[in-house]
Amino acid sequence: MKKIIFLAIVPLLVFQTISAQQVSPFKEGDRVVFLGNSITDGGRYHSFIWLYYMTRFPDMPLTIMNAGIGGDTAYDMNKRLDGDVFSKRPTVLVATFGMNDSGYFEYNWDGQEDFGEKKYQECYGNFKQMEKRFQGLPNTRIVMMGSSPYDETAKIEGNTALRGKNETMKRIVAFQKESAEKNGWEFFDLNQPMTEINQNGQQKDSTFTICGNDRIHPDNDGHMIMAYLFLKEQGFTGKEVASIEIDGKKQQVINAANCEISNVKKIKNDISFDYLAQSLPYPLDTTARGWGSKASQYQVIDIVPFMDEMNQEILKVTGLKGKYKLIIDGEEIGIWSAQDFATGINMAALSNTPQYQQALKIMHLNEMRWETERIFREYAWVQFGFLQQKGLLFADNREAIEVIDANLDNLWLRGRRDMYSKMMFPEIREARQQEMDMLVKKIYEINSPVKRQITLHQVK
């Protein structure tokens, strides 16, 4: 088996142009809330970020929560700050908006420049109200996050681009940055780097986009890119899962980064040792999850250098000759040449290792947690997207059901009617919350790396 190498040369050139930014890493016990629109509501980027912390920092529990609602503007977000955001008691609040605020189809009509200016001014005015509320949170870190872009340049059959929309969004990002600087908050922009990735990919394939076929909603790979960019801003580039270097001739440990190596032995031409890492490899889901999804999280490796920069579990053994079978806990992983081992093998790229299989359990439990959390976001949409306007916010009674039933011509509401008929009862919500709590508890029970026995067995 050849060493698996991931190359992302073109994206690497793109990232060299991005200005240095910094978002402080989360810490143990943090309650991180991502406030946003449908990209946050139905998206997975925040879940992918939490998965990184679950696997890279197994002894540092924290909580990351979704506070997105589809269709929201800054105006809508303001109306639900108390009941849906501050009520989550965030120690870190990441706020992003701009996609809906900047408007849509009017960009293809006459007077698009006037329309863009109007939407910009509306958004700015709504944000100033939000800014005042955020200023009243002295114990909460605020991170302003510039929205992922509207892709105006991809050639998508049946979808005419709204020319000028992303320019309005970039102006919104600019005042978010200005506000962050003024208030001493942190700032991170998704728009610029994602736009550059799109444009770079479109030089080879005019239909390429990481923003989805509607130019708005990233697929699983796009959400992983968002997570990657966020983690990059938190300073995790170059932070390895673990790194092992052993002199096979002398049976000496040359390097053991973020791990412990012990009991190094050589029996004839075989080398064995015990390996206890402090982190798990990051598992990338190969399934295209979600309605209408076409791409998996795993496909991110073709677009950005996530594996090279953030998912390295290097096994390097020098002084070998011939070919060797890598065996971990009695399981054959693969066969590599002595030169491959001398160069270094990235075990994080091997999904059949016991440590990767352990990480997969974390990934699936986290996905189950995400699915349950999505039910709470659907419930929040009914509350803040419909019942609040009817004066029935959190009424959760027969009157609320009757009003919903009288408005089922609203297709978005109709699709959530059955869910609401269950979630309106506090006992159901409590049971769902207990389900999420149990999943998180299980994750932090099984995410600690365990000691592995690694053997390099010479083969003919």
| Beta carbons of 248 and 269 less than 8 angstroms apart | no
| Beta carbons of 315 and 347 less than 8 angstroms apart | yes
pLDDT on residue 22: 84
Among 171, 203, 233, identify where a domain stops.
Answer: 233
Q: Which own/partner contact pairs does 400-407 have at CB distance under 8 Å and 24+ positions apart?
A: 400/424
pLDDT on residue 112: 76
CA atoms of 85 and 326, how far apart (whole Å): 49
pLDDT on residue 110: 73
pLDDT on residue 9: 36
- pLDDT tens, position by position, 400-458: 999 999 999 999 999 999 999 999 999 999 999 999 999 999 999 999 999 999 999 99
**Same domain flag for 346 and 364:** no
Note whether residue 1 is domain-resident.
no
**Same domain flag for 26 and 49:** yes
Among 233, 266, 283, identify where a domain stops.
Answer: 233
Q: Which CATH number goes with the domain that contains 126? A: 3.40.50.1110
pLDDT on residue 20: 47
Among 212, 233, 254, identify where a domain stops.
Answer: 233
Note whether residue 4 is domain-resident.
no
284: domain range?
A: 242-356+450-459
* Structural domain count, the chain: 3
pLDDT on residue 4: 37
Note whether residue 3 is domain-resident.
no
pLDDT on residue 311: 98
pLDDT on residue 8: 36
**Same domain flag for 250 and 153:** no
- pLDDT tens, position by position, 241-282: 999 999 999 999 999 999 999 999 999 889 999 999 999 999
Q: Within the chain, which residues score under 50 in pLDDT?
A: 1-21
**Same domain flag for 405 and 319:** no
**Same domain flag for 14 and 70:** yes
**Same domain flag for 15 and 138:** yes
**Same domain flag for 264 and 215:** no
**Same domain flag for 135 and 180:** yes
